[in-house]
Structure 1
Amino acid sequence: MIDSDGGPRVLLGHGTQNDFVVLPDPDGSVWPEARLDSDLVRRLCDRRAGLGGDGVLRVVPSRLVPDAPAVLGEALGQCEWFMDHRNADGSHAEMCGNGIRLFLHVLLAEGLLDRSAAEAGVLVGTRGGPRRVGARPEGGYWVDMGPARPLGPSAAQIAGRSFPGVGVSMGNPHLVCLTDVEIDTLDLSVLPGVDAAMFPDGVNVEVVNVLAAEDAPAGACAHVRLRVYERGVGETRSCGTGACAAASAALAAGGRTAGTVAVDVPGGRLSVEFDGATTVLSGPAVVVATGVLTSEWLAG
């Protein structure tokens, strides 16, 4: 989509302050794979020389994404839209719970999806597989994140200390460390040390305080606070898949397999609901600004 001055349109938005540069590309001609390379993604996400963001979301039809058939399989025909998600370092990412809520919000804002379809829920393609996402009539968005799959015990090394944890897959890998150490005192300015043999492609690391269940918000059976170091990004204000992984680990530690967990992140609050089979993440999404990239910047 090109504005009148010739520059490609961009949007900036976030879900609980996990922020993204969003690139509308409804016919696949503006941001083909050859153009949207890792260097350009890094430039877009640069908070001083670019637009700034934890990642890039390209809004493109699934049929125009070369690797979509491999990751979506038989669901390819049901996924009209594909969330082509890149981390801030330029690498591809499988799935993002905050990003996919923003993705649906952008489909609505751009007139690419009508409200009734969004409220009914639609399948969106991701490199973690198809995900059903929907708009709530009262505001906010939900996404069926699929099951939380345990990967086994491990540990993270943070500032010379070992924090035992459990690996959890939400379509992307997580290492959740439940701890009594106040998470605000921990240094997440550098990548925590992890078991490279267990996580050969890297891992998101969550440090989590489990709060008193009796103080949980209405409708929740558990309440946690987390901080996260996202692979390919660094510490972020929120992580949707991380919230799901952390909620799963907290429920398991309490002997539960189902329930609703309130998850407080630096950027706000998310709700994670487990029914024993799948995981539903709910939270807000907002578009902050729209504009165009200048030829001067693109040529740089």
Structure 2
Amino acid sequence: MRVEFSKMHGLGNDFIVLDARKVSLPAIDTGVARALADRRTGIGCDQLIVLEPSETADFRMRIFNHDGGEVGACGNASRAVALLHGAAASVETSGGTIRVEPTENGASVDMGEPRFDWNAIPLEYAMDTSAMPVGWDGLDQPGAVNVGNPHVIFFVGETDTVPLDRIGPEIETDPLFPERVNVNVATIESRTHIRLRVWERGVGLTRACGTGACATAVHAMRRGLVEREVTVTLPGGDLVIAWGEDNRILMTGPATESYRGSFEWSDFA
């Protein structure tokens, strides 16, 4: 079976997108996702995105990380999917229903409401998620937010001085986080600007993480460190994050289609 795909990215966070809304695909498991994502022997990506029919929204989006694990949300991929779809739409994800809309230079995504309760992150045991009494190798008192997937956020003097490639996997797999966690280190540049680097669970260091930008911005807003709309600068570029009075997060930023192609399913199954 020959399958068509689109290769897309949001600020360098790249995706393979398979559209199964009208043409059925064979079952996708961890092995297939990992094989397609491999940058040496597959097509290569941070995430594999599969679009499917939905009974509750315009369509469903499934998200598989580079390691083959399925996750609940991906902000950058949501913008890419908006661009591919070409119109405003409601999108079912395992992290909740979101709304996407193409813009002149990319897309806006209503990411829904953040969750702060310790058991919604989830954490192994109860604690205050606005200033957690824990630390790792000089990083301490983080915040935690679930925006469809779990994030822990550390505010630091300079993001580039943190050895995130070393400490990121240690925090990601700490028993405190039973579903693992995305690790964010952020510097508050001003009341309207945050600089951010992310270690993404199941992916590693990434040029951009949309949900990480949302979680970090909301945590900074919750702490009163920034205004309710900020620009978040990641290694791949900028996202604008707004947390409305309705408690919903709006993310706006670029998305790009790199190329289209096809592959034989049996080569990766």
Distance 2:254 2:111 in 1: 16
1:156 and 1:193 in contact (8 A); partners too: no
Report the structure, 1 or 2, having the larger strand content: 2
Tell whether 2:99 aligns with 1:129. Answer: no
Who is 1:149 aligned against? 115
Aligned to 1:278, which of 248, 258, 269? 248
Match of 2:85 among 102, 107, 120: 107
Give the corresponding residue for 2:231. Answer: 262
- In structure 2, how many angstroms separate the alpha carbons of the residues matched to 1:43 and 1:62? 26
Matched, 1:177 2:154: yes
Larger Rg, first or second structure (1 or 2): 1
Percent same amino acid among aligned pairs? 36
* Unmatched tracts of structure 2, length 5 or more: 118-128
> Which letter does structure 2 place at the counterpart of 1:179?
V
Any residues of structure 2 matched to 1:87-98 within 5 Å, and which?
87-98=65-76
What CA distance in whole angstroms lies between the structure 1 residues aligned with 2:172 and 2:241? 26
In structure 2, what residue type is equivalent to 1:49? Answer: T
Work out whether 1:52 is the aligned partner of 2:22: no
- TM-score norm. by structure 1 comes to 0.79
Choose which of 242, 253, 259 in structure 2 pairs with 1:289: 259
Distance 1:172 1:279 in 2: 14
**Residues 171 and 181, structure 2, Cα contact 8 Å, conserved in 1:** no
Corresponding residue number in structure 2 for 1:202? 180
Question: 2: CA distance between counterparts of 1:61 and 1:207?
Answer: 36
Q: Quick one: which amino acid aligns to residue 101 of structure 2?
A: G
Q: Go from structure 1 to structure 2 and tell me whether the alpha carbon gap of 1:193 and 1:297 turns closer, same or farther (over 3 Å shift).
A: same
Q: Partner of 2:80: helix, strand, or coil?
A: helix
Residues 140/194 of structure 1: CA separation in 2 closer, same or farther (3 Å cut): closer
Q: Tell me how far apart the structure 1 counterparts of residues 172 and 11 of structure 2 sit (CA, whole Å).
A: 27
1:226 aligns with 2:202: no
- Show the counterpart of 1:167: 144
- Counterpart CA distance in 2 for 1:84 and 1:56 is 8
TM-score (norm 2): 0.87
Secondary structure at 1:102 match in 2: helix
C-alpha separation in 1, matches of 2:159 and 2:231:
17
Give distance in 2, aligned partners of 1:295 and 1:199: 35
| Equivalent residues, number | 253
In 1, the alpha carbon distance for the partners of 2:29 and 2:242 equals: 36
Residue 105 of structure 1 deviates from its aligned partner by 1.4
8 Å CA contact 1:156, 1:194 repeated in 2: no
* Distance apart, 1:9 and its partner CA: 0.6
Instruction: State the Cα deviation string for residues 93-120 of structure 1 (Å, max 9, x = none).
Output: 1011111111121223xxxxxxxxx2xx
Aligned-pair CA distance for 1:162: 3.0
How far did residue 283 of structure 1 move? Answer: 0.5
- 2:10 paired with 1:18: no
Cα distance in structure 2, aligned partners of 1:194 and 1:283: 26
Amino acid at match of 2:240: S
Structure 2 distance, partners of 1:150, 1:234, is: 24
Shift of 1:62: 1.7
Q: Secondary structure at the match of 2:94?
A: coil
Q: 1:298 to 1:238 in 2, by over 3 A?
A: same
Task: Give the partner amino acid of 1:235.
Answer: L
- Secondary structure of the residue aligned to 1:247 is helix
